Each structure stands twice: as C-alpha cells, then as structure tokens.
Structure 1
Amino acid sequence: MFERWRALIPTREQIGSNRWLRWLAPYLGHPKLWHWSRRGVALGVGIGVFFGLLIPIAQIPFAAAAAVILRANLPAAAASTLVTNPITFAPVYFAAYKIGAWVTGEKLEPPAAAAGTTPADANAGIWRRITALGTPLVVGLAITASLIGLASYVLTSAGWYWYVRRKRRRLRRS
C-alpha cells in the first residue's frame, strides 16, 4: 500500500523541473522532507491536520512551509490537510464553534422576528450574527486544531511503531 502512495507523490526532481515550482527547489532539497520515517511522517501528519483544521483556505502552502521549517515529511503534511473537505467542513466548523462558545461563554442570539423590518435591516442583522461567530469560532478552531493535530501525531507515531514491530515479529517467526 505504501508503495502505491509513493508512486502518486511527485519526487524532488519532478518539482524542481516544474516551471511554476522551480523557485522552491532550494527550500525543498533537504532529504528529511522526503524521507519516510516514523518521526517525519507523524510530524507531517500532525502539521497537516493542524493547518487543515485551523484555516479554511491555503492550507497546503501553510502546511508545506511549516513542514520545511520543522523538517517534517512534506507529502504527508500536504496530504493530511485534506482532513477538511466539502463533506467534513460544516460539521468540523460547527463543532469548533460550539467548543469556542463554551470556552468563551458567548452565545449566538436567536434571530429576531422579521416582521416590520426593511431588507436593509434584515441584512444588517445577518451580518451582525455572522461577525458574532468570529471569536468563538476562532477560539474553537485553535483548540480543535491543536488537540486533533497533537492526537494525530501521537496516533501516527504509535501506529507506525506497532506496524514495524508486528512486521519484525513476522520476519523472526518465518
């Protein structure tokens, strides 16, 4: 299975030869960014999940930059940002808002009765409610991204350890 994944991931040479990514080649030349080790992959997954949950846009560039700085596995960091996608986006952000509202103590007021209001007043009320989501959502996303990113690092590292241990036992038995 790992071989199939590795075949889909572009190599350093392919990135260096791409005219749009050629300027990144000096930063992407470190061997640890492409090495499949327990520490590198676990750190890459943790970074990718963190940025995948924390910010709604440009997740892969932020995760890749953090992976370069921390010398984590770059393909694992980029791929694990896909933890949020069109299917998981709404439940993740709703849960993050609920966590943030619980931590900050803020509550979203229910919409007022629309009778007798002009469309401009109704739009202002919607905008006020959307901006009221800000603090609880940001706090909830920071907490969620930190905890799930750390948990994904630990689980990936532990899973890798147990996989290698089991594989070595099988080799010893045969």
Structure 2
Amino acid sequence: MLKIFGRLLQDANLWHLNRRSARGAFAVGLFFAFIPVPFQMVLAAAGAILFRVNMPISVALVWLTNPLTMPPIFYGSYLVGTLILNQPEQHFVFEASWEWFLQSIETIGPAFLLGSLVCASIASIIAYFGIDIIWRRSVKKAWLARKNN
C-alpha cells in the first residue's frame, strides 16, 4: 500500500528513531487512530512523510483502534461531541450497511465527527509532549547512571 509514496519513502528520517521522530510519530499515529476513516495506515504514513517522523511507529499506532477497541473509543468520541455541541445523546444501533451510514451522518454524524477530531487532537498533543518527557527522563537517567559508575 505504501508504494503510492514512491521515492518519498527513501527519506532517512522516516526510518530513524530519535526523540524528535518518536514524539512526532506518536502524535501523527494517535491522531489518525481517532479519525474514523478507512485506510488510516496510509494517512498515518502520509503524515509521517509530511512531518518527517518515524513512519513505522506512526503506522503501527493506528492499530490502537482495532475491531476490539473501536466501539468504546468511537462511542467515547461521540459522547465528547455531544458534550461540545450540547446535544442530547441519541440511541442508535450500529449496522454495517451503507444505508445506516448515510442515515447516521445526518443524526449522530456531526457529534461523532467533532468528537473524533477533538479526541484525536488531544491524544496527539498528549502523546507529543508525553513522549518528549519520557525520552528526556530516560536520557537523564542513563547519563546519571553512567556518571555514577
């Protein structure tokens, strides 16, 4: 699937692991994990190329939303959207059909999409700064251990 990016995949920054590439990769991967679209992995790869961060981490993190975790994560995103839009929660039963999707876009769609975007942004920001803090602490701990030996 990544062949569509062609020569862009040859950028060494996409495959190196350092603090900058790790924190950016977590931000990109978690952002697209919360966006309810097909081909999340391709979008995460495109984001990694755009921001020149570690692609394997970005692509792997979209699997946070898998068939087991998708229902609670996306339902939580819907609840966040209803809270922001100040709308009452609507009862719905999921069906894997095009008709259900078209009908739902009009009813629960706005709250769900807004909630997904907000959750994606929050997860991305927390991941970016969280990985940065963890990385710095681990380097500091390693330097102190080396200094004490």
TM-score under structure 1 normalisation?
0.74
Aligned letter for 1:57?
P
1:158 aligns with 2:139: no
Contact 1:45 1:77 in 2 (8 A): yes
Distance change (3 Å), C-alpha of 1:84 and 1:125: closer
In structure 1, distance between residues paired with 2:47 and 2:132: 19
Quote how far apart the aligned CAs of 1:55 are.
Answer: 2.6
Q: What residue ranges of structure 1 are gaps of 5+ in the alignment?
A: 1-19, 112-123
Quote how far apart the aligned CAs of 1:127 are.
Answer: 7.2
Bigger Cα Rg: 1
Aligned letter for 2:136?
Y
Quote how far apart the aligned CAs of 1:126 are.
Answer: 10
Contact 1:34 1:74 in 2 (8 A): yes
Out of 115, 118, 122, the residue aligned to residue 147 of structure 1 is 122
In structure 2, distance between residues paired with 1:25 and 1:128: 38
Aligned residues: 143
Counting aligned pairs with the same residue, the percent is 24
The structure showing larger relative contact order (alpha-carbon pairs under 8 Å, at least 6 residues apart) is 2
Out of 53, 66, 69, the residue aligned to residue 85 of structure 1 is 66
Quote how far apart the aligned CAs of 1:173 are.
Answer: 1.0
Residue aligning to 1:71: 52
Quote how far apart the aligned CAs of 1:21 are.
Answer: 5.3
Corresponding residue SS for 2:8? coil
Aligned letter for 2:52?
R
Q: Deviations over 1:6-34 (max 9, x none)?
A: xxxxxxxxxxxxxx755644111111111
TM-score under structure 2 normalisation?
0.85
In structure 2, distance between residues paired with 1:40 and 1:160: 11
